[in-house]
Structure 1
């Protein structure tokens, strides 16, 4: 098994021009160019979550990374959800509840700052090694453009059925996202996310058995033990996110970084309270209050994201963990307050030694 794991990892590295099979998770809002460049300098793949970025910002991010460090990186985009139904009375109840935690939202919007089509064009124009999807499958016309430009497509999947659908649609690799992962759950259908929270051990093995393309494991991997286990289970590479959030290059608010370092697995929670889409965060005071029986149900995405915007901004400004959107995976306590290049290099050195 160890020999097979080593060969899979080496083949993946050869295919993508990597020194080691470690990918940075494309964390929207927490993927500055400096962090991606540090991961790339270590020999891994950098990443950017472009969900909220306009085309010029996408182009600038890619240019900044390339100026700093040569190497492959991925750009990630959400596949849009259907337009949500509006319930103005319920939106008022949510606004009243949020007023206890920060400025009361004065306008709740169902729109995002830029169109999906424009973002897709900008991602392709940036010519990354990889464009990855989450929350669904790219439309056929986008997949055709990726293939024509020689850009690989990594599709995030949270179930075997999603992985098979992505492979059938032309994905070059599957990112198997276990339920331990911090941040948003990548379920294709929002209403299924809570019912399909599959742990990484079961998910990776099942997806590897089901598909023919390489599988990248993500979710709860923050040290060599987790990475080695994923490779032995059949993954060709691993993707890490929370493990990088305490690095100086991530530059997240200190209260968030400090809380990650103290968090046990049970100190995280899956919640819709920040965006309306299910995601795993630290169990902050706000998250606990939002789960209370007398709290209003979160609005659907992206209405809830719009509604919590003032609170989240105030939390960031005040470095207040109670109001921050503090995403974190279940292995958060393993994250090290060390340079990102060292985190990645040291993690792989331990895995490589174990592989022999």
Structure 2
């Protein structure tokens, strides 16, 4: 049977944070605690996706619960102008030198795994939910998912996007407020920094004309936040930043240290940048963001993501948070450091107090 929100003991979806924080251990812990676990697999091969889904199921220890697997809708292949590519490479060269690695060079145009390969793994493993970020999947993908009993969800950042998603036949909508950390799920890549509705305001705007369930996402850190989101008309909530310091998350040690420090001292801004990937994403400001944003050389997504990859990897190995993408939502100051199951229990208890 296709997923319904009645299956959730706790109306919480752990956000599918691609690029590291999302792990089978984290997803399984959330499932064991009565929520929906998620795997952010946008950059993974089909074989790795299948492996991670199986590992998540094994870690659930016999607990049956919904698993969400999330993909990006990458743009069609494109060529980067040689002059732009040279400028982008030149902007990264001094950073690479400081890290002691070769200056990055833009690889061909195979900047991400083929969608067909990723989907083959999903059709084989059949998670309960398949979700998409950065736009709608092809219609045949939605039909195939439904034929296999897999529910489909798509991120919306505006009421217009939500209407488009519903018309395409998606089963539910993830309403991403401006507070949310990580990549902004806009359908089109915009030149200007995002300026959108808050999580609750977006849910309220969408529900006026939408019949499918809505999941509220962005800035939700405790049970009171969840209660407000549900009262606004959401069927459930999606939390990402709240889970970043859980031991089960794949957040690197230096990334964790930066989150702790920023939450405690509030000495850094959480803001949007295109510096790491070429798409707007929100995180803790660091040296890389300041350096690349000031040059305005970031290439379109996913070219910039491919170009900056060696720098991000080297920075992680060297415990250097100044040159990693340390994504975070705007309510970072309220983050808690607990094992995921304990955090879920705490959130459920707080929600019960505020309902």
Fold equivalence (TM over 0.5):
yes
- Give the whole-Å Cα distance in 2 for the aligned partners of 1:347 and 1:37: 17
1:195 shift after superposition: 4.8
- The residue that corresponds to 1:354 in the other structure is 354
Q: Does 1:51 align with 2:42?
A: yes
Cα distance change of structure 1 residues 197 and 265 upon mapping to structure 2, 3 Å threshold? farther
1:306 aligned residue: 306
Structure 2 counterpart of 1:280: 282
Runs of 4+ in structure 1 over 3 Å off: 192-196, 263-266
Using structure 2 for the length normalisation, give the TM-score.
0.92
Specify the alignment match of 1:76 in structure 2. Answer: 70
- 5+ residue gaps, structure 2, are none
Compared CA separation, residues 172 and 18, structure 1 to 2 (3 A): same
Residues 85 and 106 of structure 2 are in contact (CA less than 8 Å); yes or no, is this contact kept in structure 1?
A: no
Q: Is 1:236 aligned with 2:238?
A: no
RMSD value, Cα: 1.7
Contact 1:225 1:351 in 2 (8 A): yes
Deviation at 1:124, TM superposition (A): 2.0
Cα distance in structure 2, aligned partners of 1:122 and 1:35: 20
Label 1:82 to 1:198 Cα distance change in 2 as closer, same or farther (>3 A).
Answer: farther
Q: Aligned residue for 1:206?
A: 205
Structure 1, unpaired ranges of 5+: 1-10
Task: Work out which of the residue numbers 270, 273, 289 in structure 2 matches 1:271.
Answer: 273
What is the 5 A alignment of 1:18-29? Answer: 18-29=8-19
The CA distance in 2 between the partners of 1:345 and 1:203, in whole Å, is 27
Write the distance in 2 (CA, Å) between the matches of 1:56 and 1:285: 35
Name the structure 2 match of 1:93: 87
1:321-355: CA deviation from partner (whole Å, max 9, x where unpaired): 10111111111122211101111111121111211
User: C-alpha separation between the residues in 2 aligned to 1:41 and 1:26?
Assistant: 17
**How much has 1:201 moved relative to structure 2?**
2.4
Deviates more, 1:32-41 or 1:94-103: 94-103
Aligned twin of 2:333: 333
Structure 1 residues 268 and 251, CA gap change in structure 2 (3 angstroms): same
Structure 1: how far apart are the matches of 2:179 and 2:141? 30
* Residues in 2 aligned to 1:210 and 1:258: alpha-carbon distance in whole angstroms: 43
Per-residue Cα deviation, 1:147-181 (whole angstroms, up to 9, x for no partner): 11111111111110110000010011110001111
- Of the structure 1 ranges 35-44 and 104-113, higher mean CA displacement relative to structure 2 is found in 104-113
The alpha-carbon distance between structure 1 residues 265 and 177, as it changes in their structure 2 partners (threshold 3 A), is farther
Alignment partner, residue 140 of structure 1: 139
Counterpart residue number, 1:182: 181
**Compared CA separation, residues 260 and 229, structure 1 to 2 (3 A):** same
- Please give the alpha-carbon distance, in whole angstroms, between the structure 2 residues aligned to 1:265 and 1:144: 48
